[in-house]
Amino acid sequence: MSDLNTQAVARYKNNFLREVEERVEEGNMVKMCMQCGVCAGSCPFGPHWQHSPQKIFMMIRAGKREELLTSDSMWMCTSCYNCIVRCPRKLPITHIIHGLANYAHRLKLVPKGQPTRDVTKLFWDNLMKVGRINELTFSLALYFKDGLVQGIKNSLAMQSAGLGLLKAGRLNPMEIFGGHKCKEQSGIHRMIAKAREIEDGRRGLLA
Ligand code: SF4
Ligand code: SF4
């Protein structure tokens, strides 16, 4: 178990609802769910979730901590907001689902190789280097994340899309040498570090 996870287990014992209320974005709204099932029925990805949003809220109240935080259900949300506009209790369902995914990531409980988490982390790491996304190095990092052979296969499979982007001027091979950068990169890094310190302090996640 990661240190943060060990600390959380010791701190909250079996009170998973309180843990979510204190540590997950908008988690204080989970108790408002009346289990009507509208969100589960409205979600376009409903049949593909191991645990629907309705079930996720039930599991939080039932204390099924490990089962939920180690599942990949929260990573299925596409932020379409269908559930939010239909929920009779006006729960910010999308935000809570993403908050749970972020919390599972911070506790290092996400299943290994979870694709949405992997893409999100590659995107964030790429963005944080120089303050803007480098499309070429991001694409290469994504294609080659599972090794050289798989990377070559992925690149060949996507070659027509890559050529189309090149022709349209949306992909610049010279970006491999660094590409565009924000002027004040150290300022961006300081701003993000400060925002993280404030948010982690608010959520009790400072190590
Ligand atoms: S639609 Fe709202 S109240 Fe109904 S189950 Fe989903 S979150 Fe709960
Ligand atoms: S926002 Fe996410 S959870 Fe809500 S309906 Fe869309 S995909 Fe499903």
**pLDDT tens column, 142-177:** 999 999 999 999 999 999 998 999 899 888 888 888
Q: How far is residue 120's CA from residue 124's CA, in Å, rounded to a whole number? A: 6
35 alpha carbon – ligand 1 mean position (Å): 5
Give the pTM.
0.88
Residue ranges lining ligand 2, Cβ < 6 Å: 42-43, 45, 53, 77-83, 93-94, 97
Do 11 and 43 fall within a single domain? yes
Q: How far is residue 58's CA from residue 142's CA, in Å, rounded to a whole number? A: 35
Is 203 a domain residue? no
- Comparing CA positions, the residue from 90, 6, 104, 97 lying closest to residue 45 is 97
Do 179 and 84 fall within a single domain? no
For residue 122, pLDDT over 70 is answered with yes
The pLDDT score that the predictor gives to residue 189 is: 92
Structural domain span for residue 154: 115-197
Is 164 a domain residue? yes
Distance of CA 45 to the CA centre of its chain: 16
Is 21 a domain residue? yes
Domain boundary residue among 111, 138, 163?
A: 111
Q: Are 33 and 54 in contact (CB under 8 A)?
A: yes
Instruction: From 77, 96, 98, give the residue whose CB has the most ligand 2 atoms within 8 Å, as the site to mutate.
Output: 77
Q: Are 122 and 138 in contact (CB under 8 A)?
A: yes
Domain boundary residue among 76, 111, 146?
A: 111
Which atom of ligand 1 is the closest one to the Cα of 34? 3
Q: How far is residue 178's CA from residue 37's CA, in Å, rounded to a whole number? A: 48
Do 144 and 184 fall within a single domain? yes
